[in-house]
Chain A
Amino acid sequence: MDEIDREIINQLQRGFPICEQPYQEAAESIGISESELIKRIGYLLEDKTLTRFGPMYQIEKAGGAFTLAAMKIPEDEFDKVAEQVNHFPEIAHNYERTHELNMWFVLGTEKPEEINTVISKIEETTGYKVYNMPKLEEYFVGLFFKV
């Protein structure tokens, strides 16, 4: 990754133009040609520096739901329970964290009422309580990683 790649990543995380020739417009503000920008974005997607290039939807507005949930799992049971939990297709990321509540995952469903159903199923399958902590308010930062 060189300086131009860094510039592309830093600028385009903040947004992408919506006009007939958006690559042309973005390229101008970076100071390269349109074809070079297109080529470089292609490479960055290929080598997986970028996961995606496009829209990030606000899930609640699209009718779906998300929540953050935690569980308290004894060390010797952890891997087994992690496997059971991750088996549910609704689970997005799942992290082991340094706390008594040591398993933290995000789950997403296409309809809000399905959240509780999935949580009950997880409790039933694993035999452990799930602490559901849905967001009540978002102080929107705009996820941004400077490179």
Chain B
Amino acid sequence: MTTHLNEGQQQALKCAIQEGLPIDSRPYLVLANIIGGSEEAVIHCIEKWIGSGLIKRFGIVVKHHSLGYTSNAMVVWNVSDEIVDELGEQIKQSGLVTLCYRRPRRLPDWNYNLFCMIHGKNRDQVLAQLDELIESCQLKDVEHDVLFSYKQFKQCGGRYHNLEKANSHG
């Protein structure tokens, strides 16, 4: 059985790659040597995890602040439950938002159920992108609010064992 990893090896592989893929010409071979499996089995296993959705993305993760994306707004919408999924799909496909989720309302204090994030290099760029979104998805009559962030208090590094926190938005 050289093409399959046992449970212990799979667990070890998850831990080994959370630190990052080895910067080596044969990174999967390096990992295979660490966990005591074959290169072929490591490749097969990672492909399987991507296929099953356990790994939702495999590549580089950027620090968006250092790339100049310093402004972000959480834009929230009050959409009727019947069309919220349809609208969520449209917003996603617009290419203008970085994240889009449906969440519960918390009445009476919070009556928005569709959340998206717009990142930009400054506040004006974020607002211009929002205008474009409103135009392209015909949202001008939908009740909404724009919550800019003006201070970030905490961001920790995203790893498997502390659950990818830095890169998730709940």
Do these two chains interact? yes
Contacts A52-B61, A133-B103, A138-B100 known; A38 to B150 CB distance under 8 Å?
Answer: no
Report whether A53 and B147 are in contact in the complex, using a CB–CB cutoff of 8 Å: no
Check if B83 is an interface residue, CB within 8 A of chain A. no
Interface secondary structure of A, over-half rule: mixed
Report the separation of the CA atoms of residues A38 and B26 in the bound assembly, to the nearest whole angstrom.
11
Report the separation of the CA atoms of residues A24 and B106 in the bound assembly, to the nearest whole angstrom.
51
Q: When the two chains form the complex, which single residue of B62, B104, B115 contacts A13, counting CB atoms closer than 8 Å?
A: B62
Report the separation of the CA atoms of residues A15 and B55 in the bound assembly, to the nearest whole angstrom.
11
Q: How far is the CB of B41 from chain A (nearest CB, A)?
A: 13
Tell me the chain A residues, 27-72 only, with Cβ under 8 Å from chain B: 34, 38, 41-42, 44-45, 48-59, 61-62, 64, 66-70, 72
Q: When the two chains form the complex, which single residue of A12, A23, A58 contacts B55, counting CB atoms closer than 8 Å?
A: A58
Count of residues in A whose CB is under 8 Å from the partner chain:
78
**Binary interface encoding of chain B residues 145-170 relative to chain A, with 1 for a CB under 8 A from any of its CBs, else 0:** 11111111111111011111111111
Chain B positions within 8 Å of A45 at CB level: 20, 23
Interface secondary structure of B, over-half rule: mixed
Check if A91 is an interface residue, CB within 8 A of chain B. yes
Count of residues in B whose CB is under 8 Å from the partner chain:
79
Chain A positions within 8 Å of B1 at CB level: none
Check if B102 is an interface residue, CB within 8 A of chain A. yes
Contacts A18-B28, A41-B23, A106-B170 known; A57 to B64 CB distance under 8 Å?
Answer: no
Check if A119 is an interface residue, CB within 8 A of chain B. no
Report whether A141 and B149 are in contact in the complex, using a CB–CB cutoff of 8 Å: no
Report whether A54 and B18 are in contact in the complex, using a CB–CB cutoff of 8 Å: yes
Q: When the two chains form the complex, which single residue of B23, B54, B170 contacts A58, counting CB atoms closer than 8 Å?
A: B54
Contacts A18-B43, A106-B169, A137-B88 known; A95 to B59 CB distance under 8 Å?
Answer: no
Of listed A13, A52, A82, residue having the most chain B CB within 10 A: A52
Q: How far is the CB of A71 from chain B (nearest CB, A)?
A: 11
Contacts A20-B28, A136-B102, A139-B89 known; A50 to B160 CB distance under 8 Å?
Answer: no
Report the separation of the CA atoms of residues A50 and B39 in the bound assembly, to the nearest whole angstrom.
26
**Binary interface encoding of chain B residues 129-148 relative to chain A, with 1 for a CB under 8 A from any of its CBs, else 0:** 00000000000000001111
Q: A54-B58, A95-B151 are in contact. List 12 more A-B contacts (CB 8 A).
A: A9-B62, A12-B59, A12-B60, A13-B60, A38-B25, A50-B61, A62-B54, A66-B168, A96-B150, A101-B109, A110-B163, A135-B103
Interface residues of B (CB under 8 A from A): 17-21, 23-29, 39, 43, 46-47, 49-50, 52-64, 66-69, 74, 85, 88-89, 91-92, 97-104, 106, 109-110, 115, 119, 145-158, 160-170
